[in-house]
Chain A
Amino acid sequence: MSKVPSDLKYTDTHEWIRFEDDGSVTVGITDHAQEALGDIVFLELPEAGRKLADKESCAVVESVKAASDVYAPLAGEVIAANQAAIDAPESVNADAYAAWLFKLRPAADVGTAALLDAAAYQSTLAEE
């Protein structure tokens, strides 16, 4: 049974989102996603300064068996990519909520209504 922390938001494409006190958001992939992918060996993350549209394909997580796209959960500008995760991709398998992928500054008019809470995300997993 994969972990779905209650203090995070989610997408139906298996990203997690944390709203930080400074107005930025931190993005990663969920425990369910890392488990489905298996051993992760490579991350291609967006560079700081890149502007992303909502749901834009912006990163790639590669396991031994498959490559998966990661989508921007909100429109915004990338302010950091997690170099520690790039250097140790297996850290995403070890703890998918600690090994974040990138941080965004959301666009001014961005809506968050489409994001799922933990219960709603959990129910999408039950349907799979």
Chain B
Amino acid sequence: MSDTASIPVSAPSLHTPFHDAHLAAGARMVDFAGWHMPVNYGSQIDEHHAVRRDAGMFDVSHMLALDLVGFDSTVWLRALLANDVARLARANVPGKALYSCMLREDGGVIDDLIVYRFDDEHYRIVVNAGTAAKDVAWMRKHIASRGFNVSLTERRDLAMLAVQGPKAREKTWLALPELKTGSETLPPFSGVQIGDFFIGRTGYTGEDGFELTLPAARATALWQALINAGVKPCGLGARDTLRLEAGMNLYGQDMDETVSPLDSGLAWTVDFSDPARTFSGRAALEAHPAAHVLLGIVLEERGVLRAHMPVLTAIGAGETTSGSFSPTLEKSIAFARLPLNTQAGEKVEVEIRGKRLPARTVKLPFVRHGKVLA
């Protein structure tokens, strides 16, 4: 027997502030984007169900938080990002968050990220681990090219932990009662600073919950308090099946520098509404409208869908971009990049190891707030 799709373990890799806690919890560790991270602690499926039904926690300290300060912050972000941070001021919710792609001039996706707005001169940005270095380099070059009056600070001094699930908020308040008053009325997709903690009501699972950002020195105590409150440690394995069910793209798999966000199910994150806003990649996207649609696929027979499997539709071929077994549906699911006019509810075939198996297309997401939608 040999692994054909596992992630090789290589040393030396970076440790997050939760590293010792993972080892103590019996994690199976892998190298992920240069970080030594937990892939699972016991059963990955049990971890998945804990988040759908109760509460689980994920170390996301490998991702990079950046603080943006300065007079030109809003002007700069409006030129940098495909989504428009002007929406955040209009929302009139302090700490409101926006999901966006950052594009090359040719429209390829450099990364996807979250930006929280405190006011027009203060933002917090969170980017992926594997792309952090090139993201920061791109941002600094973009700032310098037009002399924007902003300063960008990398916050590697912080730990980040996502607590997710229908009981996530309640159990977080049990562990950290001092946070309750300040975060009880926090609206979805926004964040608030309470003392040393930044609390975002955001996540990557399709469930309610928080993403907590805190000084690294407080990480171990937070972890233990959440364990005591009954929050289950969850690894990257469950994180991937949860985001897949929730219809959320993974950078490097569902989109990258070679594809347009319009071909990756991300048209809803590209804001063309202000004709005067010339963000990086805009001209290329306007010259090349979408050629594909990203849909969900549910396999009708036994088997497991993975990335890069051919998909045959009535109007042409496409391929899966991410795939796995869905613990909630108890079937295999995938995202697939398909010919533009492919609709949800169509019968298609997926080629797995030379065999064609029946599947159907569905609208994303597959699951939201514990309920199967597909």
Contact indicator B1/A64 (Cβ below 8 Å): no
Q: Give residues 4-29 of A contacting B (CB, 8 Å).
A: 13-15, 29
Partner of B304, one of A14, A30, A33, A41: A41
Contact indicator A64/B3 (Cβ below 8 Å): no
Partner of B44, one of A33, A60, A65: A65
Contact indicator B4/A68 (Cβ below 8 Å): yes
Contact indicator A29/B1 (Cβ below 8 Å): yes
State whether the Cβ of A70 lies closer than 8 Å to any Cβ in chain B. yes
In the complex, besides A38-B39, A62-B325, A65-B44, 9 extra interface pairs with C-beta distance below 8 angstroms are: A13-B2, A14-B2, A44-B353, A64-B327, A65-B324, A68-B1, A69-B1, A69-B2, A71-B2
Partner of A38, one of B1, B40, B302, B353: B40
State whether the Cβ of A114 lies closer than 8 Å to any Cβ in chain B. no
State whether the Cβ of A67 lies closer than 8 Å to any Cβ in chain B. yes
Contact indicator A60/B43 (Cβ below 8 Å): no
Interface size of B by Cβ–Cβ distance < 8 Å?
Answer: 24
Contact indicator A38/B2 (Cβ below 8 Å): no
Interface size of A by Cβ–Cβ distance < 8 Å?
Answer: 25
Contact indicator B304/A70 (Cβ below 8 Å): no
Given that A38-B40, A42-B303 are contacting pairs, would A68 and B241 also be in contact in the complex, using a CB cutoff of 8 Å? no
Contact indicator A38/B3 (Cβ below 8 Å): no
The chain B residue sitting closest to A59, CB to CB, is: B1
User: SS class of chain B's interface: helix, strand, loop or mixed?
Assistant: mixed
Q: How far is the CA of A67 from the CA of B5 in the complex (A)?
A: 6
State whether the Cβ of A36 lies closer than 8 Å to any Cβ in chain B. yes
Nearest-Cβ distance from residue B172 to partner chain A, whole angstroms: 27
Per-residue contact bits, chain B 1-16, to A (CB 8 Å; 1 contact, 0 not): 1111110000000000
Contact indicator A67/B1 (Cβ below 8 Å): no
Question: Which chain A residues lie closer than 8 Å to B6 at the CB level?
Answer: 36, 65-66, 68
Given that A38-B237, A42-B325 are contacting pairs, would A64 and B44 also be in contact in the complex, using a CB cutoff of 8 Å? yes
Q: Give residues 292-328 of B contacting A (CB, 8 Å).
A: 302-304, 306, 324-325, 327
State whether the Cβ of A47 lies closer than 8 Å to any Cβ in chain B. no
Contact indicator B303/A71 (Cβ below 8 Å): no
